[in-house]
Structure 1
Amino acid sequence: MEDERREPRPRRRWPLWTALAVVVALVGCLLPAALVVAVVRTPPQRPADGRPAGPDRSPSAAPAARLATAIGDRLDQQAGALLRGDRPAFLADVDRSATADLTRQFTALRALRVAVWRAEPSGAPSPTPGQPGQWRQLVTYRYCFVEPACTPSPVLVGTRWREAAGGPRLVAVEPSTSARTGTRPWEVDELTVTVGRRTLVATTPELRGRLPGLLADAEAAAAVADRYVVDGERPDRYRIFYAGREEWRRWYGGGRPAWSGGYVVTVGGGHHEVVLNADALRAGGVGDLLRHELTHAASLPAGGWPGQESWWLVEGLAELAGAGDRPTVGYSGLDQVRRLLTAGWDGRLDDLAPADDASPDQVAASYGIGYLAVRHLLDRYGEQRLLAFFREVVHDRRPVAEAAPEILGVPWPTLRDDCVAHVRATAG
């Protein structure tokens, strides 16, 4: 969830709302971003005489088939070497041009305690234009960290191979460039990692000194986030990546709003990965942000969420967790909510999501209204019914007009008016 960054205000310690918002890539996403692309096989074409076409006998068909088998064997051997921690074997069929990149990737994956690694060629290899003897092979890698029984996350990448006397040699692994997910940290950077009972926290070597504190905050946040699991199965391990300035611009595609200090992105297999912006975090705010973001990871469905209309509910629940046990009157964004009310807020909950270029006050007010509305639902109906309502709207994608009377026993217009009245009464 994209998070806001803003200048500190007097008597306020890094307001909770300065780091919260749903990652744009997740909005309306019907499928996990990195799901493998299916290979579509077209039916055989019939020649003019009407007889079924025979097998492909083009000059490149047989070499490509043999190469595909050989590449598959090399990928299997490499996967086994990675899981064993055998770096020489992992690099055995890697060309000198790719040794540095593959060594870095091997080291990062081992630091992340890779527990499952499967490489599945997708389609047939294709000749590389202008590079005689080189071929490009799409590969879906499926991976788990720490927990070997997890449902693997898939990532589709391009690999390039060179024909050689002893068999194909790997000359490059291209970073994944999914429009929805982007490049994962372990594909492009060195990582230093620490693992706790419920969390995994990774950062760059330059920021390794912050890992002990981050892990302690993450473990405490995980205990809170586990309360907000909606589908009955908590994350096997919360995955958290702490990004320096350059990594923030590169990991998962970068391009976050200027007010963003963190986000969650769906990576497939039912997993959500959290990214924190080191430049945006100030002392005292990391715990609030982690509770918010890990609650997203615990509560959101594997395939994304319906869209902007439910933004207030998605972010309001995460804000509720982020605020912890503090009373509503101590919520850090009340001043901004009050200013929005004074300016004439129209009372719409389905149009709260801030734009990428929104001002810090607009962002804070949007999150604040979401928080106050969800806090009202919690106080009136209790946590169990609140989560049931969340599941119907966010997981099952039912309109609030259907879910409200069925789960909460109140028509949606009445419930909406009650939430808006609570916002006005609390912040007015």
Structure 2
Amino acid sequence: MTDGEPEADGRPRPRRLWPLWAALAAVVVLLTCGLPTALVVGVLRDGRGGAVVGRLGAPAEDPATVAARQLAERMTAQLDRQSAALLAGDRAGFLAVAEPAAHADLRRRYGALRALRVTTWQASPSGLPTPVQGRPGEWRLLVEFRYCFVVPDCRTSSVLTGTRWRDGAQPRLVAVEPSRSAETGTRPWEVSELVVAVGARTLVATTPALRGKLPGLLAEAEAAATVADGYAIGGRPPDRYRIFYAGRAEWQRWYGGGRPKWTGGYAVTVGGGHHEVVLNADGLAASGVDDLLRHELTHAASLPERGYPGTSTWWLVEGLAEYAGADGQPVDRYEGLGEVRRLLGGGWNGRLDSLIPAEGAPADRVGGSYGISYLAVRNLVDRYGPERLLAFFTAVVHERVPVAVAAEQVFGEPWSTLHDQCVGYVRSVVA
């Protein structure tokens, strides 16, 4: 959109413009006859009989912009060398583009990425470099890194990161900043040393201090993946489920930290159709890891890349994941029934679209919200079958069809009727 300069009274000022338009018409004729733009010279009348002569063509680029672009090209060449070294397993080559002060951080990044079996690594500048205030000769360049783990030629995930360089014929990398995007925050491989186990469907990573947990976690993750695959929308599950097991410090640092106290795990979108799963080592009982893995991997399999449409559909998103987590167990064995009963007794207005708990909500309120969501989804599955439930989920969560419209389309029933039946079922279970 371009901005114009409006007349004060909204009407055009009288002006003799015909000589100008005649000259422009002549230019158009010349252009259509094939005369190179650089050779076209227009003679325009200024309205007072004077001639204004100008050469038509692209304006000269600002010298500072030209210099910044040339610097960006040299930085890009260094990034390309570093990317090739990473994929080739050449640690010395990976470090060679950087100043010695950056080597410790880069060694850790290199080790983590190689442990994660990086198969694609592409570094592309985002914009032009800018000078770092107070540091003569030092420049900052935003870089988008795109990557795949384990699987070659996957749809790449991406992260935008600040890098700092010292200028020269071959710029030297001074530092790589941890990404702090509002959507995802810092990735584990940016800030932590990692040990990794890889299975047929999953990748599980943690810190060296928790290395002993890896064999059991991998076995449970592989079992959970077989369940989660059944909830992949369109029958397209992730190429690998990526799971990061966080100790106390990592839980506060990975992906921005700051999760509600009641969170045992979460799935976060990282692009390319991938949702990476994080488990809280301090908040998990040994007996509950398999349920949580089924829950979170179902999120990774079922959620759209751009997230789901608002808090009013929270019950459907979490209810599906809880249903997968329960893995067919009888309703009366669901552990949250007591919390459901307490929430029904007070503190809930009876609407599924208001179930999402506040960040500071007490644990029993959270458990009750998840439990009611699970029972509502279970009721729909029991009545209509898993295929129609997934069709409803797809319409609401992926296609963003209003719930009332999707209910008529998929179930052939008014949503008001279905809603009341779901709530009635919840009450009957805990009566």
Q: Look up the match of 2:116.
A: 112
> Quick one: which of 253, 274, 280 aligns to 1:271?
274
Q: Look up the match of 1:146.
A: 150
Partners of 1:231 and 1:299 within 8 A in 2: no
CA distance in 1, matches of 2:112, 2:414: 52
Question: Counterpart of 1:265 in 2: which secondary structure?
Answer: strand
Q: Look up the match of 1:3.
A: none
Q: Look up the match of 1:92.
A: 96
Q: Map of 1:20-31 to 2, 5 A cutoff? A: none
Instruction: Give the structure-2-normalised TM-score.
Output: 0.86
Do structure 1's residue 190 and structure 2's residue 197 form an aligned pair? no
Q: CA deviation at 1:427?
A: 1.2
Question: Counterpart of 2:124 in 1: which secondary structure?
Answer: strand
CA distance in 2, matches of 1:62, 1:337: 64
Q: Look up the match of 1:55.
A: 60
Q: Look up the match of 2:422.
A: 419
Q: CA deviation at 1:231?
A: 2.8
Q: Look up the match of 1:4.
A: none
Q: CA deviation at 1:248?
A: 0.2
CA distance in 1, matches of 2:100, 2:375: 58
> Quick one: which of 64, 71, 87 aligns to 1:67?
71
CA distance in 2, matches of 1:254, 1:346: 31
Question: Counterpart of 1:144 in 2: which secondary structure?
Answer: strand
Do structure 1's residue 308 and structure 2's residue 311 form an aligned pair? yes
> Quick one: which of 131, 143, 156 aligns to 2:135?
131
Q: Map of 1:195-206 to 2, 5 A cutoff? A: 195-206=198-209
CA distance in 2, matches of 1:146, 1:272: 15
Q: CA deviation at 1:52?
A: 7.1
Q: Look up the match of 2:344.
A: 341
Q: Look up the match of 1:78.
A: 82
What are the Cα deviations for residues 76-109 of structure 1, in whole angstroms up to 9, with x where unaligned?
Answer: 1110100010001111111011100011000000
CA distance in 1, matches of 2:389, 2:340: 23
Instruction: Give the structure-1-normalised TM-score.
Output: 0.87
Deviates more, 1:283-292 or 1:339-348: 339-348
Q: Look up the match of 2:48.
A: none
Structure 1 runs (4+) greater than 4 angstroms displaced? 49-53
What are the Cα deviations for residues 114-163 of structure 1, in whole angstroms up to 9, with x where unaligned?
Answer: 00000011111111111111111111000000001210001111111002
Deviates more, 1:249-258 or 1:129-138: 129-138
CA distance in 2, matches of 1:145, 1:359: 38
Question: Counterpart of 1:143 in 2: which secondary structure?
Answer: strand
CA distance in 2, matches of 1:169, 1:246: 32
Q: Look up the match of 2:299.
A: 296
Compared with structure 1, are the counterparts of its residues 268 and 344 closer, same or farther at alpha carbon in structure 2 (3 Å cutoff)?
closer
CA distance in 2, matches of 1:113, 1:234: 20
What are the Cα deviations for residues 226-279 of structure 1, in whole angstroms up to 9, with x where unaligned?
Answer: 011113211000000000000000000000001111100000111000000000
Q: CA deviation at 1:75?
A: 0.6
Partners of 1:270 and 1:303 within 8 A in 2: no
Larger RCO (CA within 8 A; separation ≥ 6) = 1
Deviates more, 1:64-73 or 1:49-58: 49-58
Q: CA deviation at 1:53?
A: 6.9
Q: Look up the match of 1:259.
A: 262
Compared with structure 1, are the counterparts of its residues 62 and 149 closer, same or farther at alpha carbon in structure 2 (3 Å cutoff)?
closer
Q: CA deviation at 1:317?
A: 0.3
* Larger Cα-atom Rg: 2
CA distance in 2, matches of 1:57, 1:304: 41
Partners of 2:348 and 2:355 within 8 A in 1: no
Quick one: which amino acid aligns to residue 54 of structure 1?
P
Do structure 1's residue 171 and structure 2's residue 174 form an aligned pair? yes
Question: Counterpart of 1:132 in 2: which secondary structure?
Answer: coil
CA distance in 2, matches of 1:62, 1:248: 44
Gaps (5+ residues) in structure 1? 1-40, 44-48
Do structure 1's residue 405 and structure 2's residue 408 form an aligned pair? yes
Do structure 1's residue 327 and structure 2's residue 321 form an aligned pair? no
Partners of 2:245 and 2:281 within 8 A in 1: yes
CA distance in 2, matches of 1:175, 1:77: 21
CA distance in 2, matches of 1:259, 1:65: 48
Question: Counterpart of 1:170 in 2: which secondary structure?
Answer: strand
Partners of 1:401 and 1:411 within 8 A in 2: yes
What are the Cα deviations for residues 346-374 of structure 1, in whole angstroms up to 9, with x where unaligned?
Answer: 21000000001001110010000000000
RMSD: 1.6
Partners of 1:181 and 1:266 within 8 A in 2: yes
CA distance in 2, matches of 1:188, 1:42: 44
Do structure 1's residue 239 and structure 2's residue 250 form an aligned pair? no
Q: CA deviation at 1:325?
A: 2.0
Gaps (5+ residues) in structure 2? 4-51
What are the Cα deviations for residues 36-90 of structure 1, in whole angstroms up to 9, with x where unaligned?
Answer: xxxxx999xxxxx9987722233x3343222111111111111010001000111
Q: CA deviation at 1:344?
A: 6.3
Do structure 1's residue 360 and structure 2's residue 373 form an aligned pair? no
What are the Cα deviations for residues 276-303 of structure 1, in whole angstroms up to 9, with x where unaligned?
Answer: 0000011111000000000000010111
Deviates more, 1:211-220 or 1:65-74: 65-74
CA distance in 1, matches of 2:181, 2:128: 20
Question: Counterpart of 2:67 in 1: which secondary structure?
Answer: helix
Partners of 2:313 and 2:353 within 8 A in 1: yes
Q: Look up the match of 2:225.
A: 222
CA distance in 1, matches of 2:355, 2:230: 26
Between the two proteins, what is the percent identity of the paired residues?
A: 64
CA distance in 2, matches of 1:387, 1:65: 49
